[in-house]
Amino acid sequence: NHNFYTYANPNRNPLSSTMPEQMNVAMMTSGGLAPCLSSSVAYLVEFWAAALKAGTISGLTIRMYVDGYKGVLIGESTVLSPDSYDACSCLHDVGGSPIGNSRVKLTNIKDCLARGFIKEGETPLEVAAQQLIKDNINVIHTIGGDDTNTQAAVLSKYILDEHGGKVVVVGMPKTIDNDVFPIVQTFGADTAAEQGSLFFTNVVSESSANPRMLIIHEVMGRDSGYLTAATSRKYHDSLKKATFVPGLTTTAKSRDIHAVWIPEINIDIAAEGARLKKIMDETGCVNVFLSEGAGVNDIIAELEANGEEVPRDAFGHVSLAKINPGVYFSKRLATLVGAEKTLVQKSGYFARSAASNPFDRKLIKDCAEEGVKSAIAGVSGCMGQDEDKEGTPIRAIEFERIKGGKHFDTSAEWFKTLLKEIGQN
């Protein structure tokens, strides 16, 4: 097998001069689930197998690291049999990850040590580097969000700097938040919005279960309100196609959205309460779509003022599930609108665990095809539609330009129209 690690001249790009006899490709999925992981694996396998069949490469192994960076650190992986390449197409019908996920930060030595991924005196970067070298990996596809992909870039640089080797890293941008710079649309976000709409189509029927019902539909989204806004749009538009019987209590207005609260919009709870109480008096229910990241700073300030610890994950992100924004807002709003009963329903796990819809599958396919070409050419980067380039082409976007935390653009015409139609200023 061709030794991809070139110690004599580590800055040389081996792929650009001499085609390696054997391409050893690795894949891993990491972070939270999204409706794209299985399809990403399926399309990457498809296009690598096509490259082998076309003679673009002369040999191929595909190694799957189990449970993301955990598998890299503890050396748990499986090599996909060539007989299974074609069978991977069935993954398009499956949600979740076919190889498992985990949340691991390679620079968080304390966390990796506590979880048994490394031993005392070791560093996660060195352990991961040694594993990739041992497995003779040429290319690794990291299917995850901004944290996953920027970590892979750090690992690749570490291998080059400390071991004189090179691993081409081609990331696939997974996040239902759609909050990664400078990518137009991340994988799974459209499917998650569609599934969140489907979720609420059933949940909204609970508004008929009790007089003066308040329903909070809590949607995933830490820093960006994109998913909440897109879910609201899909659900609101679906009602325009529905038919209702005049004279009955179930109406288009009783089943519609009455408020959309996202991090990018300041929430005046008193003013909104007064507005929504009029709707409660008229329809007997109020339905609010709430981004889980909305008002989080206020909740954190309240917890810290009370001397309570703010729970955080390995990346330092606030654990939204534990501080529970939906419950926080429901208690305050229930009093303001005079609700007799309150229901907080979270669509996140339902939405993120679905298989990719046609829109996302097309996006993933296009990025996977270009991603394999990029890997063969020896070019690292995160695949996606580059919004900083004319025509937003799909390309391997330089990792140093990849950054999370992109806010939703509330000036989008469709969003302004949505708020106007539901009566929210």
Residue pLDDT, tens place only, 361-392? 999 999 999 999 999 999 999 999 999 999 99
State residue 16's pLDDT score.
Answer: 43
Tell me the mean pLDDT in the region 127-135: 96
State residue 2's pLDDT score.
Answer: 32
State residue 351's pLDDT score.
Answer: 98
Tell me the mean pLDDT in the region 232-237: 98
Handedness of CA 176, 259, 268, 284 (dihedral sign): negative
Tell me the mean pLDDT in the region 390-409: 96
State residue 303's pLDDT score.
Answer: 74
Tell me the mean pLDDT in the region 165-190: 96
CA nearest neighbour of 370 among 351, 385, 356, 350: 385
State residue 13's pLDDT score.
Answer: 45
Tell me phi and psi for residue 16, to 5 degrees. Answer: -85, -15
Beta strands, E only, 166-320: 168-173, 213-219, 259-261, 285-291
pTM across the whole model: 0.90
State residue 22's pLDDT score.
Answer: 87
State residue 321's pLDDT score.
Answer: 67
User: Lowest-pLDDT range, 17-26, 28-37, 200-209?
Assistant: 17-26
User: Lowest-pLDDT range, 3-7, 269-273, 381-385?
Assistant: 3-7
Tell me phi and psi for residue 249, to 5 degrees. Answer: -75, -25
Exactly one of 146, 147, 177, 179 is catalytic; which is it? 177
pLDDT at 317 over 90: no
Contact, 401 vs 389, CB < 8 A?
no
State residue 17's pLDDT score.
Answer: 45
State residue 14's pLDDT score.
Answer: 41
pLDDT at 18 over 80: no
Q: What pLDDT band is residue 325 in, cutting at 50, 70 and 90?
A: confident
State percent of the chain over pLDDT 70.
Answer: 94
Q: What pLDDT band is residue 192 in, cutting at 50, 70 and 90?
A: very high
Tell me the mean pLDDT in the region 192-213: 98
Amino acid at 145: G
Q: Based on the residue annotation, tell me whether 256 is a catalytic residue of this protein.
A: no
Q: How many CB atoms lie within 10 A of CB 239?
A: 16
Q: How many CB atoms lie within 10 A of CB 260?
A: 25
pLDDT at 285 over 60: yes
Q: What pLDDT band is residue 293 in, cutting at 50, 70 and 90?
A: confident
Tell me the mean pLDDT in the region 244-249: 96
Average pLDDT, the chain: 92
Q: Report the distance separating Cα 286 and Cα 273, nearest Å.
A: 10
